[in-house]
């Protein structure tokens, strides 16, 4: 027997009797040689001829394996051909061989564990959802997204439907860069002042505008002013996202006050309310985002945070934060 087969026999027998795991390739047990096609030895070649580069020299010989998977050697095969003591097909004393590059590999590759597709949020690390109402408004929205892009940060934009047509490029950018787009109704009407049909119309038309101008189907609603009553709760067929940090940026229009409203109060799981309409808010974001990152927060969308916290958002329900 070839030296390589003798060495392999010793190595394989040692592994076999030590009850260690198989490796795909030639294996010897008490009955004979066989060829495992899986690392765990659960599959093998059987019942026919197979070209194999037995000694890994770039030349393949042809071997015959019986119905149980054992290599025949120094005998005639069922179809009448001769195999020598090493199990290789011979004619007139000459091994039949061919370049190994011309024969298939019979070893089944183990599936590689795929890297998670897209963005990954670590549920064990602190996170904050920054949210922006009343847009789109490209002048401020693009400033916000320029800053977010530097830190792979994502936010949720609650947009007003009747503004979307005027800012189609910005809407497309929100979607393309992975920010969450949700509806803030169609005309920003206070829903607690409307009847059931009017409430549904405001929500439905707001959703339709987002789909039309961004290609995204929104999954969340923010009530204008956060205002609600029983009729609102009964007729908004989406999860309703409130907030637990109100920057009141619409009132102060002051960058430093907006920054302090966030940084002096923020905790893991907070939903922060800001508005896309004000230059002071855009300037505040340029300070808030890097500081939150420096403090170890992940900046995530509302839906990402809910998922990370194991919360299944329910239609008709109000959510203020996802603090642990």
For residue 135, what is the DSSP state? -
Are 17 and 30 in contact by the 8 Å Cβ rule? The answer is no
Per the annotation, the verdict on 57 as an active-site residue is no
Q: Which of 134, 179, 270, 275 is catalytic?
A: 275
The pLDDT of residue 319 is above 90: yes
270: nearest Cα among 248, 249, 298:
298
At residue 84, does pLDDT exceed 60? yes
Beta strand pairing status for 59-65 and 89-91? unpaired
Measured between alpha carbons, how far is 72 from 87 in angstroms, rounded to an integer? 6
Quote the tokens at residue 239: 């999860």
Task: Tell me how many helices (H) and strands (E) the chain has.
Answer: 9, 17
Q: Is 179 a catalytic residue?
A: no
Rounding to the nearest 10 degrees, give the CA dihedral for residues 186, 190, 196, 200: 20
Quick one: pLDDT at residue 117?
Answer: 57
pLDDT at 3 over 70: no
The two domains 3-102 and 127-319 share their CATH topology (first three levels equal): no
- Indicate which residue of 133, 134, 249, 270 is catalytic: 133
Structure confidence by residue, pLDDT tens digits, 164-196: 999 999 999 999 999 999 999 999 999 999 999
Q: How far is CA 244 from the centre of its chain?
A: 29
Spelled out in words, what is the top-level CATH class assigned to the domain 3-102?
mainly beta
Domain locations in the chain? Answer: 3-102, 127-319
Residue 116 DSSP class: P
Q: Does residue 230 carry a pLDDT above 60?
A: yes
Burial class from Cβ neighbours inside 10 Å (0-12, 13-18, 19+) for residue 188 reads middle
Rg of the chain's alpha carbons, rounded to an integer? 33
Q: Give the integer Cα–Cα distance in Å for 143 and 132.
A: 13
State residue 28's pLDDT score. 87
Quick check: bond before 195 cis, omega within 30? no
- Say what the pTM is: 0.66
127-319: which CATH topology?
TIM Barrel (3.20.20)
DSSP letter string, 259-301: HHHHHTT--TTEEEEEETT-HHHHHHHHHHHHHHHHTT-EE--
């Amino acid at each position: 027997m070839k030296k390589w087969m003798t060495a392999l026999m010793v190595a394989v027998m040692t592994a076999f009797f030590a009850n260690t795991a198989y490796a795909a390739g030639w294996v010897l047990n008490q009955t004979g040689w066989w060829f495992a096609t899986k690392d765990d030895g659960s599959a093998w070649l059987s019942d026919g001829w197979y070209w194999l580069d037995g000694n890994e020299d770039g030349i393949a010989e042809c071997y015959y394996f019986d119905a149980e998977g054992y290599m025949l050697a120094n005998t005639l095969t069922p179809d009448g051909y001769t195999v020598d003591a090493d199990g290789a097909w011979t004619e007139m004393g000459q091994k039949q061989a061919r370049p190994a590059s011309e024969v298939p590999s019979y070893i089944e590759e183990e599936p590689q564990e795929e890297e998670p597709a897209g963005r990954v949020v670590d549920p064990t690390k602190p996170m904050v959802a920054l949210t922006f109402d009343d847009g789109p408004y490209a002048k401020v929205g693009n400033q916000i997204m320029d800053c977010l892009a530097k830190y792979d940060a994502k936010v949720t934009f609650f947009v007003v439907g009747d503004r979307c047509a005027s800012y189609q490029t910005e809407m497309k950018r929100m979607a393309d860069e992975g920010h969450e787009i949700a509806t803030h109704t169609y005309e920003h009407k206070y829903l607690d002042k409307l009847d059931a049909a009017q409430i549904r119309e405001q929500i439905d038309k707001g959703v339709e505008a987002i789909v039309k101008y961004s290609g995204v189907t929104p999954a969340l609603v923010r009530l204008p002013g956060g205002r609600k009553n029983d009729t609102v709760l009964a007729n908004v067929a989406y999860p309703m996202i409130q907030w637990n940090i109100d920057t009141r940026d619409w009132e102060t229009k002051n960058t430093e006050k907006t920054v302090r409203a966030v940084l002096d109060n923020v905790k893991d799981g907070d939903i922060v309310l800001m508005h896309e309409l004000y230059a002071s808010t855009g300037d505040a974001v340029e300070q808030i985002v890097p500081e939150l990152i420096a403090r170890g927060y992940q900046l995530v969308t509302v839906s990402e945070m809910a998922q990370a916290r194991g919360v299944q958002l329910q239609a008709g329900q109000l959510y203020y934060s996802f603090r642990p």
